[in-house]
């Protein structure tokens, strides 16, 4: 029953599966495996709870242009008075005095009535926007507003919004005339913005950064170190298996635990987030693209970090310090990658490439996010006072814009398309993993086990 030792590849797959299976079973018996996996699951459930709560809450509708209020107290909302060209600040002048029986409108008609009617094209300067409620085109009666006054941003186009894409700054520049697209629906915007921010943000921070680093840190460090410390290394070494093979097969066993774990977690998150997603459909299928990206990014992080931490575990004392230093380094660079991924130093970390994968997928699945960001920032902060209503303020950006802008990044790999960015990042991570394995087996081969 002896293998022919002249062909040492005989039984390669048998040895691989034997060692990998052994590793998986070994993980099953260790408490730390279950604790780490349980804590990960709990953390994700907790975050999902917050997300569900946010998605099921209704944002207050804000009347950004105050036209649902009644400044003059004549019973007719400002917006109706504007429509009928009566003076909203004069309680003696209201539509009730005009021909026909014009009864006061319900004020809610004038909340969130002028939303975004935009179709953006980044290649040219555009003049877009439509004044749904007419408060730009037909301003208050008696005010004799000229065309140049209607064109408050001075771009020569009356009652429009001038948009231009700046590739230098990677953002849209917006200049709007007053009263155009000024009162959009907060609830709708918020939910979409938060949905996207959550998918991208949690995908990057939760899966790629946290689970991507901590699962290998706790599980993969012991792959070699535990065996040496427990004095059971000779069971694996004194066999006709190359030391390099021992490393690779142990890693395989580790991946066999980590890959399904991440897949299940991502699936769970995708289902919950997809069900809670805003929009008309029951379940948002389009997000699958991003979740696939998150899953692949997390798998690759497992692979690279698993290799690294297994390596560090081999070099007894120094290894532990190196692991902590690496952890800190990756954390700091992760923050930098999220804040400003165009900084070159960010590329010196593993986590940058993982996050870039998620960013690239986000760009492919949500290509109109820059538009949303521009819209979110386009509304103006107003304040008004009247005897009837007192002081009124309106916010300067749509709710959810802040979150979206902090997690959204245009991928920073120069002029590459998102798909190419994705491929490059995957390639970089695989190359990193391969080189670390190569270094690891070179170290392990020369290592004496006393």
What residue ranges bind another protein (CB under 8 A)? 1-3, 5, 8, 10-11, 14-15, 17-19, 21-22, 25-26, 29, 32, 43, 46-47, 50-51, 53-54, 194, 197-198, 201-202, 205-206, 209-210, 214, 217-218, 221, 229-243, 317, 320-321, 323-324, 327-328, 331, 402-403, 406-407, 448-450
Q: Beta partners for 171?
A: 166
Q: Which is nearer to another protein, 104 or 395 (CB)?
A: 395
- CA angle, corner 237, sides to 231 and 242, nearest 5? 155
The single-letter DSSP state of residue 205 is I
Q: How far apart are CA 222 and CA 220, in angstroms?
A: 5
Q: Which is nearer to another protein, 96 or 327 (CB)?
A: 327
Torsion of CA 331, 335, 337, 342, to 10 degrees: -130
Q: Which is nearer to another protein, 323 or 363 (CB)?
A: 323
Q: Beta partners for 174?
A: 163
Q: Phi then psi for 127, rounded to 5 degrees?
A: -120, 100
Q: Beta partners for 383?
A: 393
Q: Which is nearer to another protein, 163 or 210 (CB)?
A: 210
Q: Which is nearer to another protein, 159 or 326 (CB)?
A: 326
Q: Is 11 left (phi over 0), alpha (psi -120 to 50) or beta?
A: left
Q: Which is nearer to another protein, 367 or 402 (CB)?
A: 402
**CB of residue 394 vs another protein: minimum separation in angstroms?**
18
**CB of residue 130 vs another protein: minimum separation in angstroms?**
32
Q: Beta partners for 126?
A: 163
**CB of residue 310 vs another protein: minimum separation in angstroms?**
13
Q: How far apart are CA 218 and CA 204, in angstroms?
A: 20
**CB of residue 328 vs another protein: minimum separation in angstroms?**
6
**CB of residue 30 vs another protein: minimum separation in angstroms?**
9
Which of 330, 355, 352 has its CA nearest to residue 343? 352
Q: Which residues of 377-397 are buried (b: 16+ CB within 10 A; e: fewer)?
A: bbbeebeeebeeeeeeebeeb
**CB of residue 359 vs another protein: minimum separation in angstroms?**
16
**CB of residue 375 vs another protein: minimum separation in angstroms?**
19
Q: Please tell me the number of Cα atoms within 13 Å of 281 on its side-chain side.
A: 7
Q: CB–CB of 41/224 below 8 Å? A: no
SS3 state of residue 122: coil
Say what angle helices 212-219 and 288-314 make with each other, to 10 degrees: 30
**CB of residue 432 vs another protein: minimum separation in angstroms?**
22
Number of neighbours of residue 19 by Cβ within 10 angstroms: 20
Q: How far apart are CA 301 and CA 158, in angstroms?
A: 53
The single-letter DSSP state of residue 346 is G
Which of 237, 220, 298, 239 has its CA nearest to residue 266? 298
Q: Which is nearer to another protein, 95 or 440 (CB)?
A: 440
Which of 225, 360, 215, 223 has its CA nearest to residue 302? 215
**CB of residue 134 vs another protein: minimum separation in angstroms?**
35
Torsion of CA 263, 332, 418, 420, to 10 degrees: -90
**CB of residue 316 vs another protein: minimum separation in angstroms?**
10
Q: Which is nearer to another protein, 221 or 409 (CB)?
A: 221
**CB of residue 429 vs another protein: minimum separation in angstroms?**
22
Q: Which is nearer to another protein, 106 or 229 (CB)?
A: 229
Q: Which is nearer to another protein, 46 or 286 (CB)?
A: 46
Q: Which is nearer to another protein, 7 or 143 (CB)?
A: 7
């Amino acid at each position: 029953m002896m293998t022919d030792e002249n062909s040492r590849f005989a039984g390669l797959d048998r040895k691989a599966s034997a060692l990998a299976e052994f590793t998986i079973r070994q993980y099953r018996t260790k408490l730390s495996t279950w604790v780490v996996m349980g804590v990960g699951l709990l953390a994700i459930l907790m975050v999902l709870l917050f997300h569900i709560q946010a998605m099921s809450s209704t944002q207050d509708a804000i009347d950004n242009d105050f036209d649902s209020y009644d400044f003059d107290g004549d019973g007719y909302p400002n917006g109706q008075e504007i429509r009928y060209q009566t003076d909203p600040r004069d309680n003696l002048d209201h539509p009730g005095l005009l021909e026909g029986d014009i009864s006061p409108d319900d004020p809610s008609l004038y909340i969130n009535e002028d939303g975004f009617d935009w179709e953006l094209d980044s290649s040219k300067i555009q003049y877009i926007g439509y004044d749904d409620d007419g408060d730009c085109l037909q301003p208050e009666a008696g005010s004799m507003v000229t065309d140049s006054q209607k064109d408050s941003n001075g771009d020569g186009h009356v009652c429009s919004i001038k948009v231009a894409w700046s590739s230098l700054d990677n953002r849209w520049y917006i200049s709007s005339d007053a009263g155009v697209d000024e009162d959009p629906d907060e609830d709708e915007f918020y939910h979409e913005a938060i949905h996207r921010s959550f998918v991208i943000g949690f995908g990057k921070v939760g899966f790629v950064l946290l689970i991507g680093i901590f699962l290998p840190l706790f599980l993969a460090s012991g792959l070699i170190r535990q065996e040496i410390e427990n004095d059971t290394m000779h069971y694996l070494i004194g066999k006709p298996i190359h030391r390099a093979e021992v490393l690779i097969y142990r890693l395989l066993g580790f991946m066999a635990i980590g890959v399904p774990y991440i897949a299940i977690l991502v699936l769970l998150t995708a289902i919950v987030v997809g069900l809670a997603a805003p929009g008309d459909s029951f379940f948002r299928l389009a997000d699958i693209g991003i979740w696939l990206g998150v899953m692949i990014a997390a798998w690759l992080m497992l692979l690279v970090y698993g290799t690294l931490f297994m390596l560090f575990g081999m070099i007894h004392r120094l290894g532990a310090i190196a692991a902590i230093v690496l952890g800190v380094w990756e954390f700091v660079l992760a923050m930098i990658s999220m804040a400003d991924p165009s900084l070159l130093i960010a590329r010196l970390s593993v986590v940058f490439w993982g996050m870039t994968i998620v960013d690239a997928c986000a760009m492919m699945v949500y290509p109109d996010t820059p538009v949303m960001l521009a819209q979110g920032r386009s509304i103006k902060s107003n304040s008004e006072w009247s005897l009837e209503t007192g002081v009124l303020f309106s916010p300067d950006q749509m709710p959810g814009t802040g979150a979206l802008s902090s997690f959204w990044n245009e991928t920073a790999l120069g002029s590459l398309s998102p798909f190419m960015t994705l491929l490059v990042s995957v390639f970089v991570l695989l190359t990193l993993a391969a080189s670390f394995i190569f270094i690891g087996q070179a170290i392990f081969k020369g290592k004496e086990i006393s």
